[in-house]
Amino acid sequence: MRAAVWAAVLGGFWAFAALAQPYMPWAFDWPKALVMPAAKWISAFTKWLLNDASFGLFTFQELTRWISAVVDVPYRFAMNLLSAGTAEVPPLSWLAVVILVALIGHRFGGMRLALLAGACFLFVAVFGQWTSAMITLASILIAVPIGVVGGVALGLAAYRWPWFARTITPVLDLMQTIPVFAYLVPILILFGFGPVAAVIATVIYAMPPMTRITQLSLQRVPQDLRDLGQMVGCSRRQLTWRVMMPSAKAGLMVGVNQVIMLSLNMVIIASMIGAGGLGFDVLAALRRLDFGAGLEAGFAIVALAIALDRISQAMAQERPVSIVARNAYVLAAFVTIGLAGLSAAIMPQLQTYPEAWQLSTGAFWSRVVEWINVNYFDTLEAVKNALLLNVLIPFKRFLIGLPWAGVAALLGLLGWRLQGMRLAMLVMVLVVLIASTGLWDKAMTTVYLCGLSVAVAMLIGLPIGVLAAERDSLWRWVRLAIDTLQTLPSFVYLMPAVMLFRVGDFTAMLAVVAYAIAPAIRYTALGLQGVDPRLIEAGRAMGCTNLQILTRIKLRLALPEIMLGLNQTIMFALSMLVITALVGTRDLGQEVYIALTKADSGRGLVAGLAVAFIAIIADRLIGAAAARARAGLGLGGGGDGT
């Protein structure tokens, strides 16, 4: 019955899309006269901020300059320490940094971590990426503390004052869905081009998750501990700093890890507004289509990412170390710096990693690509063209041809059925807003690339997740692989795809699939593993075959979790899609990218918001569907099992 209703609705929609164009052209192309000049408004507003805005005592521009100056001081210090040095004092030598990193690894994770972290940094030196890597590291060293402290402060405020939580929650939602490029533009305009602007962009990008995690971890502190604090008569400050924060520490450290990884990701992307470092090397290589150089810089980013990730994860687990040992580590660090400084004065090779000791694989990779192209060009080209002609382009044409009015109505109906009037209104308003900016075609291009990429990612990810969920040994490897994939900055994914398929939609799709597949696998596997074993036992007792247990019990019960995985996959895909503008897509991402190169903040933000709207629509609809599925299974009120 319900299926019949939906079939009728879809039929009506199809008929409308196919036949109504001659009669109702406004439903297909938003009338030019009615296009909302939101981009102009925003640009005018930025201009006003920059030129006229004043807080009485000081102008807005003075404020931004002051912020830049404040951030500049520690940044300069970190830069000098790691890379530039001053006239009198050279920077830390590569040997000193490698040993220091190994020491930190040893302090928090023992010998294994020391070796891993040291090896990662040595790798960077050996492959000649040292200078760039240290520039990147300096930005991270400055951005992470600011991001963590700011995030904790906001999270704490949101925990304490409910009205503050209500105010910032929608802002945080938007910040996490708006593509990173979009707010690079205003930052570029307000703070200029350079590493300090990049650090500020990084902080803004990495802070929302920390705020969220702080809020959550504080809420998760058991009520008993709060009562205890009250019972022993803690003052407000004592309750916060002696009871709540230490008890929430495990959660907060997860947040720190996130801030570090997000900062790394962003510092790489912010090379577009002058962050320099490894990101700039990748970007420059992409522009020259120099695969070898790009890949080498990419590997260095991977090494840096792995070292930072593992160290910050180990910090979260906190190996208990006696005070004596703690002091010994500090002492060892100073001795290292001193000795390395002295030895570098005698042997200059130990100061700056000598070129003679470097290995370059750039040429090798370029030859590999050349060889692949010589031998397999036709095959690769045939695969690419076949897919483009038979799948990608028809799907794109289909979506672009859809009337915005019909799409709004259809999605609204879906929202209404899934949750009710409020969701329906939200979805329809967002669709109309996208159309009203005159970006409908570009938005549909984004939906097409994102949709196909997500479909492919789910098609590959689901079976892997299903296989891995049943086999512990396989799951261990798969999890290591997807954990590592997720720590890699999004930029890195572009290189291999471009090497094989050059620029275009197909390349973009491959990069997006590679980036977005991790949540598809993870949520499927975790969902299946989370199915109540008693139900599986019951199925087995009834004589189900393995296949029946999988399809009739496990997949059914894991459905809500898998839907959340789908949701995450879409969010990942959208954030990556914007970055693939660099390899020549023609969607909203490209719009943002062009705005960035022209420093047009209005255009950039409007396109960015359109991407955010698409993300919000997908997120809310799938979230509602997952909630319904969960309620249908009776998993809702936490009453399962206990």
Q: Does 474 bind other proteins (CB under 8 A)?
A: no
Q: Could you write out the three-class secondary structure of 9-25?
A: HHHHHHHHHHHCCCCCH
Which residue in the set 62, 227, 532, 537 belongs to the binding site for other proteins (CB under 8 A)? 227
Smaller CB distance to other proteins: residue 32 or 237?
A: 237
Cβ proximity to other proteins: between 235 and 545 the closer is: 235
Binding segment for other proteins (CB under 8 A), chosen from 227-235, 360-368, 475-483, 517-525, is: 227-235
Q: Give pairs for 70-75: CB < 8 Å, separation 24+.
A: 71/142, 71/146, 71/196, 71/199, 71/200, 72/196, 74/142, 75/138, 75/139, 75/142, 75/195, 75/196, 75/199
Rounded least distance, CB 66 to other proteins, Å? 38
CB of 231 to other proteins, least distance (A): 4
51 near other proteins (CB under 8 A): no
According to CB under 8 A, which one of 207, 243, 409, 578 is a site residue for other proteins? 243
Closer residue to other proteins, CB minimum distance, 243 or 434: 243
Residue 247 engages other proteins in binding (rule: CB under 8 A): yes
Query: Minimal distance in Å, beta carbon 5 to other proteins?
Result: 35
In whole angstroms, the minimum distance from the beta carbon of 237 to other proteins comes to: 11
CA–CA distances in Å: residue 21 to residues 11, 27, 71, 584? 16, 8, 55, 30
Residue number with CB closer to other proteins (4 or 231): 231
Query: What b/e sequence results for 184-216 when a residue is b if at least 16 CB atoms lie within 10 Å of its CB, and e otherwise?
Result: bbbbbbbbeebbbbbbbbbbbbbbbbbbbbbbb
Minimum distance from CB of 261 to other proteins (Å)?
Answer: 25
**Using the rule CB under 8 A, which residue among 31, 246, 401, 632 binds other proteins?**
246
Residue from 230, 390, 545, 546 binding other proteins (CB under 8 A): 230
Q: Measured from the CB atom, is 228 or 339 closer to other proteins?
A: 228
**Which one of 249, 417, 540, 630 is in contact with other proteins (CB under 8 A)?**
249
Of the ranges 132-140, 230-238, 527-535, 603-611, which one interacts with other proteins (CB under 8 A)? 230-238
- Other CB atoms within 10 A of residue 560 CB: 21
| Minimum distance of other proteins from residue 318's CB (angstroms) | 9
Q: Choose one: 29-37, 246-254, 355-363, 455-463; the region binding other proteins (CB under 8 A).
A: 246-254
d(CA 285, CA 150): 35
Contact call for residues 441 and 400 (beta carbons, < 8 A): yes
Toward other proteins, which CB reaches closer, 543 or 638?
Answer: 638
**Position 358 contacts other proteins (CB under 8 A):** no
CB 505 within 8 A of CB 445: no
Residue 249 beta carbon to other proteins: minimum distance, rounded to whole angstroms: 6
Least Cβ distance, residue 176 to other proteins (angstroms): 30
Shortest Cβ 163–other proteins spacing (Å): 16
- For the chain, what's the residue count? 642
Give the nearer residue to other proteins in terms of CB position, either 321 or 480.
321
For other proteins, the closer of residues 54 and 230 by Cβ is 230
The single residue among 238, 327, 358, 379 that binds other proteins, judged by CB under 8 A, is 238
**Which residues lie closer than 8 Å to 552 by C-beta, 6 or more apart?**
539, 544
Q: DSSP readout, 106-130?
A: HHHHHHHHHHHHHHHHHHHHHTT-H
- Residue 438 CB contacts under 8 Å (≥ 6 apart), including other chains: 30, 32, 35, 36
Is 62 or 227 the residue whose CB approaches other proteins more closely?
A: 227
Q: Residue 148 and residue 125: Cα distance in Å, rounded?
A: 29
The C-alpha atoms of residue 574 and residue 453 are separated, in whole angstroms, by 10
Q: Give min distance, CB of 223 to other proteins, in A.
A: 9
- By CB under 8 A, tell whether 637 contacts other proteins: no
Question: What is the contact mask toward other proteins in residues 315 to 334, using x (rule: CB under 8 A)?
Answer: -----x--------------
Residue 59 DSSP symbol:
B
The reply to whether 389 sits near other proteins by the rule CB under 8 A is no
Q: Which of residues 545-604 bind other proteins (CB under 8 A)?
A: none
Q: Decide: helix, strand or coil at residue 274.
A: coil
- Output the six-digit token pair for 137: 């590291």
User: Quick check: 222 binds other proteins (CB under 8 A)?
Assistant: yes
Q: Which is nearer to other proteins, 224 or 378 (CB)?
A: 224
How far apart CA 593 and CA 456 sit, in angstroms, is: 25
| The token pair that represents 625 in the structure block | 């569907």
> CA separation (Å) from 306 to 192, 205, 461, 513?
31, 20, 23, 21
CA distances from 463 to 258, 450, 466 (A): 28, 20, 5
C-alpha–C-alpha distance, residues 595 and 581, integer Å:
12
* Spatial CA neighbour of 137 closest among 117, 152, 109: 117
603: tokens are: 């255009």
User: Which of 221/295 has CB closer to other proteins?
Assistant: 221
Binding site for other proteins (CB under 8 A): 222, 224-225, 227-228, 230-235, 238, 242-243, 246-247, 249, 320
